[in-house]
Structure 1
Amino acid sequence: MGKSTLDLIKECDNFPYYDEDPAYYKAHLKTYHAFKVTGCDAILGYIPNDVVENIRFPKDCWDVDSTAQTVTLVTAPDATPAQRSELVAQTLADVVKRDTFKILRGWRNEMYAVYGPKGEFLLEMERSASPLFGIVTYGVHMTGYVEDEQGIRIWVPRRSKTKQTYPSMLDNTVAGGISTGEKPSECAIREAMEEASLPEDVVKKGATPVGCVTYFYVRDQRAGGETGLLQPEVEFLYDLKLDASIEPKPCDTEVEDFRLWNVDEIKQALSNGEFKPNCAMVLIDFFIRHGILTPENEPDYMKIMARLHRRLEFPTVSHFTA
């Protein structure tokens, strides 16, 4: 028996919910330290206790309180994001030098931003290190599809078997992380060219922002590196209706090929567990918005809707620019 739609949602949004079992939730939080920054009252992420034990936090700029289970980056009240970021970078450089964590062997040279409760930019850190601190990360997923007399068909890429994360699994047409200072639309355009050879004018003309999904993912062995690390994420979604004459093609080594699949083929691959977990979330959202998955044909419809839009426990931003 294959995976149900709700099974797929739970596989990605798999951090415990307080309301479901308060006692278990509280006990589970004891396995983490809260990541904080001086001058900001909010918790910015959860660091597993064993990660805390294996990082050398310099005492002149970090306060590790094992009783309160907090790890705080200590800086002057007027510290700039660049100054905070440099202290984090120095700490990570030592971790990399000692080869403490396998996940950092996939160093990306991409920076992810960390925000405070009012949307203020606090600092940035190397992308591959973000799961060690459990910070909220942001990305873009774009579903490229054709709609004609044959119905809806979606362009589905297969990830390279050499990728560190989720090798050989199926993905969304275009997907990628939003770097510091980048807008979601800019990320969508960049990733469309890098991963699918889709020209900028095609994306600008056809891409439609259609919302977002949010989830709190606990990494398993498919993610590469250590298991049990946390990824609370916000994925901004775009639909890209394409003419049948436009065919996405791999532009880098991250994608092996693209195939144009109908809804039934995608449903079967989802049931088989062939899609990367967060990509399954995005496709389910697409099915809901296009009337493929409805209250009449899905018994867990309300649970699915709620789990697609989890309220995260840390500050988040919408990337609004005035």
Structure 2
Amino acid sequence: MKSNLDLMDECDVFPYPGTEAHASLIPTLYTLLSPTGTPIGYMTEVVFNALVKVPIHIKGELEVNRSARTITAFTQPTEKERSSAVAATCDYWRGNKTFEVLAGWRDELYPVYDETVEGGKVYDIERSASCLFGVVTYGIHMTAYVRAKDEKHGIKIWVPRRAKTKSTYGGMLDNTVAGGIESGEDPWECLVRESGEEASLPEELVRAKAEPKGTITYVYIREPRAGGESGLVQPECQYVYDLELPQEVIPKPNDSEVECFYLWSVEEVQAAMGRGEFKPNCALLVLDFFVRRGILNEGNEGSYGEIKRRLHRELEFPGPHRGA
């Protein structure tokens, strides 16, 4: 059975500064810089080499410092031009089948931020390609629950199972509602949209009853279950929400991404977590929910302090998470 700290380690994988693991990993990566020289992502050697090989008329000029292992790319004058160059580069890779991860092309754009760039946004990037550049991405996750007076903790939690056909973490357990925040989209509006798309929850109910509960942050390193190449660095910030549902409101799949929903006690959720059934970042969202509700505390979890701290890891790259 996996411990809560095991679950933390499976998602917040990137080594922390000051550790031997960090000192060993950093020299194998290239730091991606914005046009103003701000670090905005980590790129593996394989991705770096692939970017160098993209024709200049597609990607534009690169500035590479091999001793410092930095690369400045997409320095066109405007955000629109930079986004076009990023899109053309990713499309070139996709057409040449350079990276397996691009087989999961989503036609969704994620924003890449740097407050030192005019307008605060460096460029937009295709969702499936964001992990190739190691930039921070953003999403929403919501836990829906119902009151259950006969349960030890007084609640039951709605838990969806991802469709087995999904290319990423197929068949694993998820949070009630979860999804990526697209470029130009507000986290709240993303929550409302995803609640309808994934769980058939009425918009008016979500707008009236969903409660924002801050954010969690972590740095994942992709592995086979994520689909595509392993070893890609993936810093993420998730905006967290809770929703108490009336007994008569039952989440139902409304797209091909969810197979079914279970209404489980806290103990049933904990058992599934111990069996490793939850998608790695979704397990962290459940841990956060348990911490906030006092289900997980210093009295019953020896690693409580470390877990609580790592749920809010400081991300070294810029973005709205710094003010969340």
TM normalised by structure 1 equals 0.94
Matched, 1:70 2:70: yes
Counterpart in the other structure of 1:27: 24
8 Å CA contact retained: 2:34, 2:114: no
Q: Which residue of 1 aligns with 2:135?
A: 135
Answer yes or no: is 1:277 the counterpart of 2:277: no
Residue aligning to 1:229: 232
> Once structures 1 and 2 are overlaid, which stretch shifts more, 288-297 or 242-251?
288-297
The answer to whether the 8 A contact 1:63-1:74 is kept is no
How far has the Cα of 1:97 moved from its partner? 0.9
**Aligned with 1:28: secondary structure?**
helix
1:320–1:304 distance in 2 versus 1, CA, 3 Å = closer
1:51, CA displacement in angstroms? 1.5
Give the CA deviation at 1:199. 1.2
Please report how far the alpha carbon of residue 74 of structure 1 lies from its aligned counterpart in structure 2 after TM superposition. Answer: 4.6
Matched, 1:176 2:173: no
SS at match of 1:238: strand
Give TM-score, length-normalised by structure 2: 0.94
| Superimposed CA distance per residue, residues 236-291 of structure 1 (whole angstroms, 9 cap, x where no aligned partner) | 00001000100000000000000100000000000000000000000000001111
**Residue 165 of structure 1 aligns with which residue?**
168
Structure 1 stretches lacking a partner, 5+ long: none
Q: 1:288 to 1:74 in 2, by over 3 A?
A: closer
Partner residue, 1:57? 54
Is this contact kept in 2: 1:144–1:155, CA < 8 A? yes
Task: State the alpha-carbon separation in 2 of the partners of residues 90 and 162 from structure 1.
Answer: 29
* 2:289 alignment partner, SS class: helix
Tell me which amino acid in the other structure corresponds to 2:84: E
* CA spacing shift, 1:54–1:73, aligned 2, 3 Å: closer
CA positional deviation for 1:61: 2.6
Structure 2: runs of 5+ lacking an equivalent: none
Q: Is the 8 A contact 1:169 1:274 kept in 2?
A: yes
Q: Choose the corresponding residue for 1:84, options 82, 85, 106.
A: 82
Q: Does 1:315 align with 2:311?
A: no
CA apart distance, 1:81: 1.1
Q: Does 1:115 align with 2:113?
A: yes
Structure 1 residue identity aligned to 2:124: E
Aligned residue for 1:13? 12
Are the structure 2 counterparts of residues 181 and 319 from structure 1 closer, same or farther at C-alpha, using a change threshold of 3 Å? farther
1:41 and 2:33 matched: no
Q: Note the C-alpha offset of 1:73.
A: 1.6
Q: CA RMSD in A?
A: 1.6
What letter matches 1:44 in structure 2? I
Partners in 2 of 1:74 and 1:156 — Cα distance? 41
